[in-house]
Amino acid sequence: MSGSLNDDSFHQDLQPRANNVSDYLSHQLQPPPPPRRPRGFSATAAAIGQTTSRASATGGKAKREREKEKERTKLRERHRRAITSRILAGLRQYGNFPLPARADMNDVLAALAREAGWVVEADGTTYRHSTPPSQSQEAAFPVRSGESPISSGSFKSCSIKAALDCQPSVHRIDESLSPASLDSVVITERDAKNEKYAALSPLNSAHCLEDQLTQDIRPRENESQFRGTPYVPVYVMLSTGFINNFCLLIDPDGVRQELSHLKALNVDGVIVDCWWGIIEAWNPQKYVWSGYRDLFNIIREFKLKLQVVMAFHSCEGTESGDAFINLPQWVLEIGKENPDIFFTDREGRRNEDCLSWGIDKERVLRGRTGMEVYFDFMRSFHTEFNDLFAEGFVSAIEVGLGASGELKYPSFSKRMGWSYPGIGEFQCYDKYLQQSLRKAAGLRGHSFWARGPDNSGQYNSRPHESGFFCERGDYDSYYGRFFLQWYAQMLIYHVDNVLSLASLVFEETKFIVKIPAVYWCYKTSSHAAELTAGFYNPSNQDGYSPVLDVLKKHSVIVKLVCSGMPVTGQEVDDTLADPESLSWQILNSAWDRGLTVAGENSLSCYDREGHMRIIDMAKPRNDSDRHHFSFFAYRQQPAALIQGAVCFPELDYFIKCMHGEIVDDLVPC
């Protein structure tokens, strides 16, 4: 039989590799030669001491080499997983393959087989429509002589377990073969370069093999844990690209298609960003809402609830689809003449993501202050859509309070060259915030404190690399405590002022404020990244309590960005991150104050493991007070639901867990 594993040509393909492995193992296992005794020297105490010293040095060097090899192994493993993740993501997004979140090579082969017209059953049995299943099992791997199974076009896939059961000769090829060399069972033709990269693949690791064999079991272990738990509504954020820069709805059919998918997933509502840079784009106090009126009417057709974001920030093009949205053009024109209306770093670089809080009460925007601009925008929205508020269609308003709509300084802007896990930079060097700093220093009686720290590093510095944030650094000096308290207080003043005006506009509507998850550098004493973001939260200070007290004053819903990514191993050492501890600090502090809490996923969370972490946070299992999220905002990838990049059964499972109504026949995609 040409496709049998006992075929001579197949063994000929394997033999060079098996011999290489055997030669390598025999060389490694050969005992070292006995040490040679030095000639011409007697066994004096000095010689013995010298020999002992050399042995100790050799042992220490060997230990260091072992440690280095462990680190290199960790890095290789991370590299393997990253490559596999990118390959699978590309197949999902560009090849429209319905691969599960924890896919393996068997799923890829099965998808390819189905694409080629084969039938792949649940147990891995693969056959053409005209071939009976009983006959197909005789040719599980039809490898032709001298030809790769993939290139032959007539391969069939089965699960790893089925393959091992059906083909026991795989283990009899060579007992010394490593897990990586078992790839030759499936791929028999490789050049030296391909072999090198194949060895780095995470598909060859024993850990991945365990994941493959248990992936169908794990989801069901969690089903009973969330059945009957409190109902947490799920809202999905709509893509930004449906509204163009002239506030026109450009793709109503695409909107209906996306909403039909969401309706089929049983989501409770959608979230729409109302961009200041689109609505008041060209002239001050000239608001254009036509595109949003058309969008809201379509959403109402599907009987979904609506949350609206007052987006007073810019969109960099990666946050919500491919759209790039600036601040209003008339604001940018003012900024050319008076660049101090924008946040500024120590080197004088202007950040145009949002307006500086220093102009909240400065009439520099064509005769209006920053507060008046925000108030007029919110009032125009309420007036335009008063009918939607009257019928209860708008369930909540999220007020943007900083960069990315989150309550923070724009200290982590990619436009300025920042990349994770850099500590960021203080954004207080425009003339208006500097005036406030000089006033605060004068009231304190230390006028020479009216300056920003000059040793706080750069955007991508690490805490130990700066004199301000390092262990026992200047952040905990008298000047450091004064500066950080003032810096955080400016954030609190801004929150209080904006929410006070929002309360006048939306009298009976719930407000939402989004708190960022600045979890890197959390394991340091200074918490440097949180300090530059505006939260005075070092290890000896609770920086979130003053913020939550103000939010309690206005009875807002606190929406916390939740990271579903586990941070372990080498990443902990590199980033000093602790997302879980930060999240629970904020959640417990908010619940202790009686605040309503909601959640939102980060853009990196789209797999089963990340979903389960978020569900555990949304519905704490061991909380005697039965706290849970009031709702959850799901941020989708750009055009993910349209292009098929999101696994619908995976998202369906997540929504059903949030709703507390898991069905028994639900299986992973």
Q: Are strands 394-399 and 342-344 parallel, antiparallel or unpaired?
A: unpaired
DSSP state letter for 457 = -
Angle between helices 290-301 and 252-264 (to 10 degrees): 40
Q: Which helix (H) or strand (E) holds 608?
A: helix 608-618
Do residues 492 and 498 make contact, with C-beta atoms less than 8 angstroms apart? no
Which residue's entry shows tokens 């994941």? 211
Is 406 among the catalytic positions? yes
C-alpha dihedral over 573, 574, 576, 582, to 10 degrees?
-120
Asked if the peptide bond before residue 168 counts as cis, ω within 30 degrees of 0, the response is no
Could you tell me the end-to-end alpha-carbon distance of the chain, in angstroms, rounded to an integer? 35
DSSP state letter for 368 = B
Catalytic residue among 406, 425, 530, 650: 406
Q: Which helix (H) or strand (E) holds 204?
A: none
Do residues 124 and 106 make contact, with C-beta atoms less than 8 angstroms apart? yes
For residue 250, what are the contacts with CB-CB under 8 A and spacing of at least 6?
A: 241, 242, 243, 244
Q: What tokens appear for 475 in the block?
A: 């952040």
Total residue length of the chain: 669
H helices of 385-513, in order, are: 386-390, 431-444, 478-505
User: Cα 615 vs. chain centroid, distance in angstroms?
Assistant: 16
Catalytic residue among 280, 362, 600, 650: 600
Do residues 158 and 121 make contact, with C-beta atoms less than 8 angstroms apart? no
- In angstroms, the CA 295 to CA 255 distance is 8
Per-residue 3-state assignment (H helix, E strand, C coil) for 105-129:
HHHHHHHHHHHCCCEECCCCCEECC
- At position 427, the amino acid (one-letter code) is Q
Do residues 116 and 154 make contact, with C-beta atoms less than 8 angstroms apart? no
Is 600 among the catalytic positions? yes
Give catalytic residues, as residue numbers.
406, 600
